[in-house]
Amino acid sequence: MTTYFLSDTAVLTGRTLRHVTRSVDTIITTVLMPVAMMLMFVYVFGGAIDTGSGSYVNYMLPGILLITVASGISYTAYRLFVDMQSGIFERFQSMPITRSGVLWAHVVTSLVANLLSLVIVVGVALLMGFRSAAGAPAWLAVAGILLLFTLALTWIAVIPGLSATSVEGAGAFAYPLIFLPFLSSAFVPTKTMPGPVRWFAEHQPVTSIVNTIRDLFAGQPVGDDIWLALAWCVGIGVVAYGFAMVAYRRKIG
């Protein structure tokens, strides 16, 4: 059964990946907004923001990476919605393939597409002066956290992708996720924020993830933030997966 699931998912993932490669503008659009934000914050606002660090691009890159993921997963919901509306799910269900393979194909495609977007954004950051003291283990840890974060948000994207009634509704859920890093330590230290906003910023998931990635890039001890970051990513992913599977069974049942 596991062999069939893996082989079916691999074949279906190839199909969805071909759709992505034929629509290069999707990757460009996903990358364009985070890169534009990075340029604006570094070259327009960076000189006015005191982070206590030597380079503002080093400080704000982790937040930009999370915004890149949040922007990218809106296309996962869109692709899933289009497949649902075209009836492709019903056609696949009539074939001798693993039922959940279609859904997992979209999830794996999201991970691959977002990984490509993240690599491009990091490349632009390097051109802008980003430098890291991290060794190979730290870079692998950053990649692992971003992978978990992408997986968690992808399962959130699956829910509106299955249940939305319009293309706009399928992608609209991503806007609050894109906005969330602005209410965290991603762009300014939380200590500069007013009381209630500071409390929210310090206790929401993005702050612990951003702080962990920032410390890993800087080659510094990550402390308890890494466990909070992992707990948030795994917890959100598990809950979102549960709701997504319920929505999927209702849709194809």
- Among 113, 87, 102, smallest CA distance to 15 is for 102
Q: What is the pLDDT of residues 229-241, one digit of tens each?
A: 999 999 999 999 9
Residue 93, phi then psi, degrees to nearest 5: -65, -25
pLDDT tens figures, 23-49: 666 667 778 888 888 888 888 876 677
pTM metric for this prediction: 0.88
Q: Residue 166: exposed, middle, or buried by beta-carbon count in 10 A (0-12, 13-18, 19+)?
A: exposed
Split at pLDDT 50, 70, 90, the class of 253 is: low
CA–CA separation, 241 and 156 (whole Å) = 7
